[in-house]
Amino acid sequence: MPAPEPAPMSRRERRTLRAIEVALTDDDPDLALLLRADRGSGRREQWTRIARRTVGLAVVLFVAGLILAVPVLMAVGAMILLVLPPLAWVVAHFQPPPG
């Protein structure tokens, strides 16, 4: 038997789900926080993570270039640091908010 296709929730279903979420938060705040942590999978959060990781990569390359005295590594690290994180931040800024 094929699986049913997903359909948007009706207003009544959304209200019921919201009531369940509120009751869950009241009953077990720790579980509610754990479940809410999954909401960081939106596009904006993904682009923010990309920006943070590129900063880390750029710093590692730049420091490795300094330690090893390799100007190319320092230049690549500096270019990544100056270009990619701001670009990822701009893309993240223009993503629609989740939900």
Residues 6+ apart with CB under 8 A from 48: 88, 89, 92
CA distance 41 to 98: 9
Q: What is the pLDDT of residue 21?
A: 81
The pTM of the full predicted model, rounded to 2 decimals, is 0.50
pLDDT in tens, 50-98: 888 888 888 888 899 999 998 998 898 888 888 888 887 788 777 776 5
Q: Is the dihedral of CA 97, 90, 48, 43 positive or negative?
A: positive
Q: Give the residue among 39, 46, 52 at the shortest CA–CA distance from 98.
A: 39
Give the pLDDT band of residue 28 (cuts 50, 70, 90).
confident
